[in-house]
Amino acid sequence: MARINRSDIIQKAINDLALSTTADAIPTETSDKVVLTYDLNKKFSNFIADSSKSTTGTLTVNLPTTDSKSDVYVTGFDVSIIKDSTCDLATGNQFFTLVPDAQGIAKTLVQIPGIALTAQDAHVHADLTYPIKVKANSSVTLTPGTFTVGVCVRGVTVIGFITSSN
């Protein structure tokens, strides 16, 4: 039998198996054969988070709030901007960003150029081939978006799922 020497692995077993350190035998060895196992107890739930805004400033969409045993994945998104020719939305880009769990730093997925005093209708839809795990309790944003006259409506919809081992 192989001895488990890493305290973080032993602690993970204690936490995942809800073992009592006073009443239960804590596993510190493996058997003579290693058997691959799969966690079939994960629960999945889908979500759709969306928001639209016709006022100036950053558009924020809050993703579902989760506990420490849950993970949030984004599987697709839809970003749109519609404005009339009197809108003075500054020339530049609208940046659609999210915070991947691995980096913890906001990353831009889409840039939509804005053209001042020009009617505009831009729409980006993506179904992701591989889901993106996002930072827990984070949000996605569409920025910038400052204008003083005219009409501009921006919208964001995020589709995904939450896994939980509860």
pLDDT in tens, 93-134: 889 999 998 788 999 999 998 888 889 999 999 999 999 999
The answer on pLDDT for 156 being more than 90 is yes
- Give the residue carrying structure tokens 């890493």: 6
Residues 105 and 159 in one domain: yes
The residues near 80 (Cβ < 8 Å, ≥ 6 apart) are 122, 123, 124, 154, 155, 156
Domain of residue 4, residue span: 1-37
pLDDT of residue 24: 80
Please state the pTM of the whole predicted model: 0.71
Cis peptide before 144 (omega within 30 of 0): yes
Does residue 26 or residue 109 have the better pLDDT?
109
Residues 104 and 28 in one domain: no
- Contact indicator for 94, 153 with CB cutoff of 8 Å: no
Residues 16 and 97 in one domain: no
Task: Return contacts of 136-139, CB within 8 angstroms, 24+ apart.
Answer: 136/66, 136/68, 136/70, 136/71, 136/72, 136/101, 137/63, 137/65, 137/66, 138/63, 138/72, 138/98, 138/99, 139/60, 139/61, 139/62, 139/63
Residues 85 and 13 in one domain: no
| Structural domains of the chain, count | 2
> Which range (18-32, 41-55, 147-161) has the least confidence?
18-32
Confidence of residue 166 (pLDDT cuts 50, 70, 90): low
Residues 94 and 55 in one domain: yes
Percent of the chain with pLDDT over 70: 91
Confidence of residue 147 (pLDDT cuts 50, 70, 90): confident
Residues 7 and 65 in one domain: no
Residues 27 and 47 in one domain: no
Residues 67 and 110 in one domain: yes
Residues 20 and 47 in one domain: no
CATH number at residue 92: 2.60.120
Residues 111 and 50 in one domain: yes
Residues 19 and 50 in one domain: no
Residues 57 and 13 in one domain: no
The answer on pLDDT for 30 being more than 80 is no
